[in-house]
Amino acid sequence: MMGSRGMTLTGILKDGVHRLDIRVYYEDTDHSGRVYHANYLKFCERGRSETLKCAGIFHTDLAAQDLFFVVRHMDCNFLGAATIDDVVSVETRLHQQGPAKFVLDQRVLRGEEVLFAARVTLAMVNAQGRPQRIPAGLLQKISES
């Protein structure tokens, strides 16, 4: 499904950077009319999920193999505030990868202004929550995206 700017619902992956546009709704804001801080984490989760989809990695396929990505660590910087009706862009790029984890850099921007930045470590676990190696095919898809 295409948006008004030609962007699909899953965003655009180009030159190693995934970009997903998100409109800020009333439900995303706090009493001051600014985006509630925890919602930046939700925006980034959407960005990570859509980045994986653009790379051909689907959570449902992983779950069928009892494999899951979980957030292991996150460093966040809140640098500005989006408000209702703003359109923000979530940018996601690979920073580093290992056999059982990878690290992403994410930013939420309004235009060129960076509102939020995070470095996120994702680990692969099995259904029991134990660390697992990321299958070689997935590592390749991640590194090529």
75 in catalytic set: no
Residue 121 CA to residue 115 CA, distance in Å, equals 20
Residue 16 CA to residue 145 CA, distance in Å, equals 5
Question: One of 30, 61, 66, 85 is an active-site residue; which one?
Answer: 30
Q: What is the dihedral of CA 19, 22, 102, 75, to 10 degrees?
A: 120
Active site residues: 30
